[in-house]
Amino acid sequence: MQQPIMISPSILAADFLNLGRDIDAVSNADYIHVDVMDGHFVPNLSYGTTIVEAAKRATRIPLDVHMMVSNPDETVDWYVDAGADLISVHVEAARDLPAIVTHLHERGVKAGVVINPATPVEVLEDVIELVDLVLVMSVNPGFGGQGFIEGTYDKVRALSAICSRREVGPIIEVDGGVSLSNARALAAAGAQMLVAGSAVFKSPDPASIVREMRELASLGLECKKA
């Protein structure tokens, strides 16, 4: 069965002086996306467990934590304890990705794997059956507000084909430069969850953007089925 389209607004673009207010403004979202950057794996430093804990207190929407860190093997438990519901780690950073995935499942958390724009989808062949989600970066990780990489569509199609061939169904998520202008095409290519930061939180009506993005992506999903 085809999974419905989900929207995961990224609080990296939220107002941290009013984080609870901004999260409440997207109460119609499916997940809240939390970008953890360590200033080492990526050239920027964002926030850590304190913000995850604050977001958990602010909402009942599950937290989608994207760990852009160089040592996920040693630190995933920090974010499980902080309240993450889904944790994604980079294939480029993990020393033992299957072990991380197994450990997260044992802790009762969904496990995802992330691939950077330069990383081919074929590296996922050995773990695709283990993970709950695959996050395809459509910008180079580390900074918000970047332009969308057009080659992402082909990458999502290739990933969707691998999933079909292997008869597995992890959620395919796309993060970076996602907006109303490309939501429909991404869903048509095979994306099932869209991360949007600036497009949502820089809008005067974030909830309406979440709703419209889901509607547009759902139209793309219908095109994929046809």
Which pLDDT does position 147 carry in this prediction?
84
Residues of the chain with pLDDT under 70: 1-2, 143-145, 224-226
Which pLDDT does position 165 carry in this prediction?
94
Does 22 qualify as catalytic in the annotation?
A: no
In the Cβ-directed half-sphere of 145, how many Cα atoms lie within 13 Å? 5
* Active-site entry in 22, 35, 38, 64: 35
Q: Where are the domains of the chain?
A: 6-225
Coil vs helix vs strand at 5: coil
Does 30 qualify as catalytic in the annotation?
A: no
CB-based contacts of 134, cutoff 8 Å, min separation 6: 112, 113, 114, 115, 124, 128, 159, 170, 171, 172, 173
> What CATH code is assigned to 6-225?
3.20.20.70
Strand partners, 7: 194
Distance CA 66, CA 114 (A): 8
* Active-site entry in 22, 30, 38, 175: 175
Other Cβ atoms less than 10 A from the Cβ of 28: the count is 14
Which pLDDT does position 226 carry in this prediction?
57
Q: Are 178 and 195 in contact (CB under 8 A)?
A: yes
Distance CA 219, CA 222 (A): 5
pLDDT digits (tens, 9 = 90+) for 150-163: 999 999 999 999 99
Distance of alpha carbon 50 from the chain centroid: 20
